[in-house]
Structures are given as structure tokens and as C-alpha cells.
Amino acid sequence: MMEIIISLFISGLLFGSGPCLFTCGPILISYVTGTKKNMLKGLKAYIIFSLARIAVYIILALVIFFLGKLTLERLLGGSSKYIIILGGGFIIFIGLLMVLQRFFRPCLLLGKNILEHDRKNLVMLGLIIGFLPCAPLLAILSYVGLISKSWLNSLLYSLSFGLGTFISPLLLLTVLAGAIPLFLPEKEAFYSRILSIICGCVIIFLGIQLINRAF
């Protein structure tokens, strides 16, 4: 059992430095930079986002254990299109708020209520990414669910894999992204506005790309 836990943890490390980095990185880094967080808030954002994503890994592994791989594939296959569209729509909405709050008062009020108190946003982003697993990730979660002799095994195995993905270069990149506003020139308000608009546009683009996957 311990050998399996260690091997899955190492697999998580590899995923966190590869597929997970390129999937999660652009969205999370743009969000942290565009909402003008500091390094500590960047770290908190990464932790919240990662815990939500790991929770999804555990849920999917348990579903495979109890219902089987084919059942999960049917569930994801039937609903993935709608999950992708809703997820992409949410990401675009966040990006639009980051861009438009500088120009329209209603968006400014929404931005203060949604972007400045953003724990729910980060949880949603983590859940969206977690419920859109790539083929290699789905293969590992299927492996976890199928080799587990009990639900507790499945939980421990998926948790060890998830913790491996947590220790990723993305952790450092997210913390550093939180430090970017500290290096803005004297006209901080102007450059901060430009930075927020650029990051918002990046997030909108990523949301559109995600929706395109549904078609």
C-alpha cells in the first residue's frame, strides 16, 4: 500500500510540473496578477484553488471505485459539454469584470463584491479545472479507483496524487505573480488599470478557448 501511495505522489509531482502547470497556470496567474494580490494573498489563492481541485480528484476516484470506469466515462461524456460551457462562461465573466470594472460603475460594484472577496471564485476555478480532466489524468484516477480494495484506499491514493500535484512550480509562479503590483512605477493607478485589463483579456481568451472544446 505504501509503495502505491509513494508512486502516486511522484506521479502527482510529475503532473504538477507538466500538464497541470500548463492547464492551470495561465488562468490562475492571470487572475492573481489582475486582481492585484500581494505574495501572501497569491499563496492563499493557490492553496484554495488547489484544495478545490484535489477534492474533485478524490470525488472522481471514489466514483470510479463505487460505480466503475465506464459509468464515470458515461457521466462525463454526457455532461462534459455543459460543464465546459458553464465553466468557460464563468471564466469569461470573471475576465469581463476585471476589464470593465475600470469603465462602468455597475461593473465596479460587482468587481468589489466578487473579485475582492474571491474565495468562492478560486474554489469555482479549482472545481472547473478538476472536472475537466485530461486523458492521462483520467487514466490515473481510473487506476486509483480500480486498484483500491476499499473506499479508504481510494481516498488515500487520490489524496497522495493530489498532494503531489500541489507541489508544483505553479506554487512559486503564483506567489511571484502576487508580487508584480509591487514593482509598478510611480503612476501606480494607471499601470495597475492597464495590468488588470490585460490579465482580464487573457482570462476571457482562455474562457473562449475552453468553450470551443465543447464543439
The lowest-confidence range among 134-138, 189-193, 201-205 is 189-193
Q: How high is the pLDDT of residue 70?
A: 57
| Residue pointed to by grid coordinates 488547489 | 50
What single-letter amino acid sits at 13? Answer: L
pLDDT of residue 144: 82
Number of separate domains in the chain: 1
Look up the domain containing 53 and give its range.
2-212
Q: Return d(Cα 94, Cα 200) in angstroms, integer.
A: 8
Cβ atoms 210, 91 nearer than 8 A = yes
pTM of the model: 0.75
Which three cell numbers mark 84? Answer: 465546459
pLDDT value for 176:
80
